Structure 1
Amino acid sequence: MAERIGPADETEMTALFRTFDWSGTALGPVAEWPQSLLTAVDMMLASGHAMCLAWGPEKTFLYNDAYVPIMGARHPWAFGATFKEAWPEVWPEIEPLVDATFRGETSSFRDMPLLMTRNGYPEETWWSFSYSPVRDDQGDIAGLLNVTLETTGRVLAQRQRDAASDELRRSEAKWRTIFETLEQGFILGEFIRDETGKAVDWRYEEVNDSWYDLVGVKRGAAIGRTIREVFPGIEDVWIGGFAEVTEQEAPVRFTRPVGSLGRWYDGVVQSAGGDRFTAIFTEVTERVWQEKRKAALLALIDRLTNETTTEGIIAAVSTALSEALDADQIRHDAEGATVEPVAVDLRPATLDAQSVPAPLRRFVEDLRGGRTVVVCDCFDDERTQPEAAAFEVSVGRAFVGVPFLERGTLAGVLRVGSPRPRRWNEDEILFVRDVGHRGWLAMERLRVEEQQAVLNQELSHRVKNTLGMVQAIAMQTFGGKAESGAVDDFGSRLRALSSAHDILLTQNWSAGGVREVVEAVIASFEGADVRMSGPELAIGPRATMSLSLLVHELATNAVKYGSLGMTSGYVIISWQVREEGGAEVLDFVWKERGGPPAVEPVRRGFGSRIIAMGLSGSGSVERRFGEEGLTVEMSAPLAAVQSA
């Protein structure tokens, strides 16, 4: 009868059913099985679905080929055992279901979790199954048929998907929160290209709240629109510069203004795939203008240091203000002058209510008190509303007026105007004051220098008159007691001192140039062939006087006894700075050539003593009387010469 079990096709389980020793089970030999059991077994073995059968009071456990993988390591020993023996670890959970089935109830479950030990270790598993009662030949319930499907893989996959979805939702919520609370502006956009592929515009797909705040656009007014629609006249660089990210596939940093907004932005734009991109940015308008003001102030300081004319100072002040404030109406008024935009007049004057420029007369008390006048919009400011049109034409829609006081009296006014309403901030006002103050001080410096020049000229005139009187007194005193040559020498020495005095006056008695001193002395020797070479070098006042007398004595002697007394004769004068023992040394050389042989004088007079003193009373002096002419080499520490 064993061959009657299952389909004709031989499978693992049909073979097991046919060869199994049933006599040792509660079912007994197959020949004694009721037809209902045989039918249930045949149906189970023929099914491709995992099925198991529990039959009889002992609930003998049977299953088909599709159920074998579910059994794991329990197969085949659990075949023919009781249901409880086959699944002891889950029996407490399923026993109530089994009992209910044997009472005639049908149970169905989806993804029921069961902890199984089917392969020697606990496994968390999930099952979708149904328990159905099976009746015997008499119609009584004799068994339980379990059609089952292990859903562990699907449940775990679903759990992973759910976890991923939850994580995605949390991530999206997190980033959405960050996106909405981000202080920086954020843009997700897509480029619009022409038929050649060139990016000509881009559309806003997403922006955050900060974007609206940073650009001053009403919330919700950007999504779906292009940048050219939102900002008519926008600079092309905002499209072309952003499009670079799709070409070089690397983030692009930018710092640039939106001209129509008057704001600067700094940020990074990067590709988001295809023609889409993201940009994150912040407004840096104040930072940019702070940097511009700093750079303008440094440039102004350098320029004012070297400016020697009123016009140059005026131009420097105007340039600094216009570049650092983006203001196109800048005026300085003094003596009631009305000047054109970007023109400056810094001449000192005492300004009263009538001589103050007409637009500012209503502010004269503020200006006299040294208080800066600030108007952000002449049409809104109650002080300027009555004459707003006149203010707009002559000063600007918005303006700043900075007074300059001299000894407590109003002397000048600096005006900086804007053709548009402008909210001047404290830094800008301080900058205007600073620039104006520096310009005013530079003008004061020029005025002081001009006054000093006048005083120097007057002093020079008086000194020369004094030297002339000294010379006249000397000539009267010498009378017939001295040789005429001695009187002439005395006079020429006074003239040499006078020329050195003139040079020092031009430098405020601080220093004289070696070349200037030599040229001034030689100029008094008409027709002298003197050839000079040496670097530009400044020396101290005493050294200037000494060098002047020294060159005068050498030139006088050369005319009397040396090369300058002959038409073929000439003098070579050279100087240089060299290093000796870690210190700089000045060498000064006098060479007479083309004249008679040099003869050492028998008698040493005052002139010889002047030459022997050298450059500054220190250092060395060497005279060589040769066939080619006199050579005098003098050396002295440069520091001593420059400080003397």
Structure 2
Amino acid sequence: MQSAASLLEAVDWDNHPLGPREAWPETLGMVVNSLLGSPESMYLVWGSERVFMFNDAYRPILGPRLEAAQGARFEDLWADAWPSVEPMFLKAEAGEASRVIDMFIPMERYGEPEDTWWTFSYTPVRDDAGAVLGVLCITNETTGKMRTEAAHAEAVAQQELLNHELSHRVKNIMSMVQAIAAQSLKSVQDQGAVRTFEDRLIALGHAHDVLLQHQWRPASVRSVIGPMLDLHDGRGQVAVEGPNVLLAADASLSLSLLLHELATNAAKYGALSVEAGRVSLSWRIEGERFVLDWRETGGPPAAAPARKGFGSRLISTGLRAAREAELIYAPHGFSARFTAPLERMTRD
């Protein structure tokens, strides 16, 4: 492929409106030399005839127009793009520089309509008196980037649609399970146990909602905690504090179910059962460990459960079944510390 300089040399300038190169204005010669030596993709449009000249970095953009491009009239060479760039170009000829990012320009470089995007600037070239002699353009095609971003946006939109459908179906399944349980267990004398089962299904549904919102990618501790506490903290009795930690999907489900059991117990027997009660929920990272603290104050004295049901076993199991749970039943209230390997909490 011929260089831009050799293509420029091949033009019959003696019979060109611009005239022989040796007769060109000094300003034009300096600008052309700078243009040819620049690694940036650039072109120059000179004079009232709008003579087009380009450098090596610009060559790939021309496609089949390459051989005839040097010395051509700008709006004839780029007739397909001219309607899009004309307003900016005319402003540059009038002395106003401008720049655009990712501008859409329809073209037909290869004989077929083509959607393209460009980031470019127009800068007036002036003589010593300030008169505009030409326009210099630095340009880069961003079509590939824009298509990639569009494809990503479409994929995200499709994923959101799938997540919405999945969330809808999960909720329907949860509702069906609740209905089946209600029918199957309606003869059970202890309806409290049935309601507890239903509440756990609701908590699990909320946890799935959080994960679907994050497309089953890591979710922050706060985003997991929020829906769980909304079910139980109607009076603003829970204080939450901790750093921004992203939890893996399984860890998010584990934390959701654990907090549901803690909040349920607090609402029934502990600090959340009275107006003066308070709960402090905090978490931190200690070395390679994730530590979660639950502390209740201002409520009834805490006592260990007489029997261990599902909820008590789940609390004792701790985060992601790490079985690192320190439970304290004290006169001033219940408190617990749950510890798990950080890697286990943040990676599936």
TM-score (norm 1): 0.39
- Paired-residue identity, %: 31
**2:347 — aligned with what?**
643
Map of 2:12 onto structure 1: none
Cα-to-partner distance string for 1:4-60 (whole Å, 9 max, x where unaligned): xxxxxxxxxxxxxxxxxxxxxxxxxxxxxxxxxxxxxxxxxxxxxxxxxxxxxxxxx
SS at match of 1:261: helix
Note the residue ranges of structure 1 that are not aligned, 5 or more in a row: 1-215, 222-228, 233-257, 265-282, 290-323, 329-370
- Residue 261 (structure 1) aligned with residue 23 (structure 2): no
Contact preservation (8 Å) 1:563, 1:595: yes
The residue correspondences of 1:201-280 to structure 2 (distance < 5 A) are 218=22, 230-231=26-27, 261=31, 264=34
Distance 1:468 1:395, change over 3 A: same
Contact 2:237 2:272 in 1 (8 A): yes
SS at match of 2:283: strand
Q: In the alignment, which residue of structure 1 is the partner of 2:270?
A: 562
Give the structure 2 partner of residue 502 of structure 1. 209
Matches within 5 A, 1:109-188: none
Structure-2 change in CA distance of 1:496 and 1:326 (3 Å): farther
Aligned: 1:471 with 2:178:
yes
Aligned to 1:543: 251
> Do the aligned partners of residues 628 and 325 (structure 1) sit closer, same or farther apart at CA in structure 2, a change above 3 Å counting?
farther
One-letter amino acid of the structure 2 residue matched with residue 630 of structure 1: F
Residue 218 of structure 1: CA displacement? 3.7
CA distance in 1, matches of 2:71, 2:120: 14
Distance 2:337 2:245 in 1: 18
Name structure 2 gaps, 5 residues minimum.
1-19, 46-61, 90-104, 123-133
Q: Distance in 1 between matches of 2:121 and 2:330?
A: 79
Aligned-partner residue type, residue 271 of structure 2: S
Q: Give CA deviations for 1:352-396 in whole Å, capped at 9, x if unaligned.
A: xxxxxxxxxxxxxxxxxxx95647769947x958x96x9645555
Task: Describe the superposition over 1:178-210 as per-residue Cα deviations: whole angstroms up to 9, x where unpaired.
Answer: xxxxxxxxxxxxxxxxxxxxxxxxxxxxxxxxx
Alignment-derived partner of residue 48 in structure 2: none
Deviation at 1:592, TM superposition (A): 0.5
For residues 585 and 570 of structure 1, the distance between their equivalents in structure 2, rounded to whole angstroms, comes to: 26
1:588 aligned counterpart, secondary structure: strand
Deviation digits for residues 332-366 of structure 1 (CA, Å, limit 9, x no counterpart): xxxxxxxxxxxxxxxxxxxxxxxxxxxxxxxxxxx
Write out per-residue CA displacement over residues 575-608 of structure 1, whole angstroms, 9 at most, x where no aligned residue: 00011xxxx1000000001101111111111100
The match for 2:125 is none
Separation in 2, partners of 1:327, 1:606: 77
- Asked if 1:488 is matched to 2:240, the reply is no
Pairing 1:450–2:157 present: yes
Match of 2:38 in 1: 286
Letter of the structure 2 residue corresponding to residue 523 of structure 1? D
Q: Which residue is 2:240 aligned to?
A: 532
RMSD: 4.0
CA distance in 2, matches of 1:639, 1:441: 33
Give the aligned partner of residue 589 of structure 1. Answer: 293
Post-superposition offset of 1:443: 1.1
**1:307 matched residue in structure 2:** none
- How far apart, CA to CA, are the structure 2 residues paired with 1:417 and 1:513? 40
Q: Which has the higher contact order (CA 8 A, sep 6+)?
A: 2
CA contact (8 A) 1:512 1:538 kept: yes
Deviation at 1:286, TM superposition (A): 2.2
1-structure distance, mates of 2:247, 2:115: 41
SS in 2 for 1:480: coil
- 1:461 and 2:168 are equivalent in the alignment: yes
Q: For 1:610 and 1:576, how far apart are their aligned partners in 2?
A: 21
Cα distance between partner residues in 2 of 1:544 and 1:498: 12
1:616 is paired with a residue whose SS is helix
Contact 1:327–1:417 (8 Å) recurs in 2: no
Provide the C-alpha distance between the structure 1 equivalents of 2:296 and 2:146, rounded to a whole number of angstroms: 53
What amino acid is the match of 1:486?
Answer: A
Structure 2 equivalent of residue 615 of structure 1: 319
What letter corresponds to residue 261 of structure 1 in structure 2? V
Match of 1:439 in 2: 146
Distance in 2 separating the partners of 1:411 and 1:477: 63
Q: Deviations over 1:528-566 (max 9, x none)?
A: 511000001111111111110100000000011101000
For 1:491, the aligned partner's letter is: E
Please name the residue that 1:634 is paired with: 338
* Per-residue deviation, 1:447: 1.2
2: CA distance between counterparts of 1:534 and 1:418? Answer: 48
Report how far residue 497 of structure 1 moved: 0.7
Corresponding residue number in structure 1 for 2:53 = none
User: What code does the residue aligned with 1:507 have?
Assistant: H
| CA distance in 2 between partners of 1:423 and 1:378 (Å) | 15
Give the AA of the match of 1:571.
Answer: V
Q: Structure 1 325/529 Cα, relative in aligned 2: closer, same or farther at 3 Å?
A: farther
Please report the TM-score for the alignment, with normalisation by the length of structure 2. Answer: 0.69
What secondary structure sits across from 1:509 in the alignment?
A: coil
- 1:623–1:632 CA contact under 8 A, matched in 2: yes
Go from structure 1 to structure 2 and tell me whether the alpha carbon gap of 1:571 and 1:392 turns closer, same or farther (over 3 Å shift). closer
1:597 to 1:453, Cα distance in 2 relative to 1, 3 A: same
Q: Distance in 2 between matches of 1:504 and 1:411?
A: 40
Q: Counterpart of 1:611 in structure 2: which amino acid?
A: I
State whether structure 2 residue 275 is matched by structure 1 residue 576.
no
User: Which digits, 9 at most, give the CA deviation of each residue in 1:415-440, with x for residues without a partner?
Assistant: 7889879999xxx7xx52xx211111
One-letter code aligned to 1:530? V
CA distance in 2, matches of 1:486, 1:598: 21
Equivalent position amino acid for 1:454 in 2 = L
The correspondence for 2:115, drawn from 412, 420, 426, is 412
Preserved contact between residue 597 and residue 629 of structure 1 (Cα < 8 Å):
yes
Shift of 1:488: 1.0
Whether the 8 Å contact between 2:219 and 2:252 is mirrored in structure 1 is yes
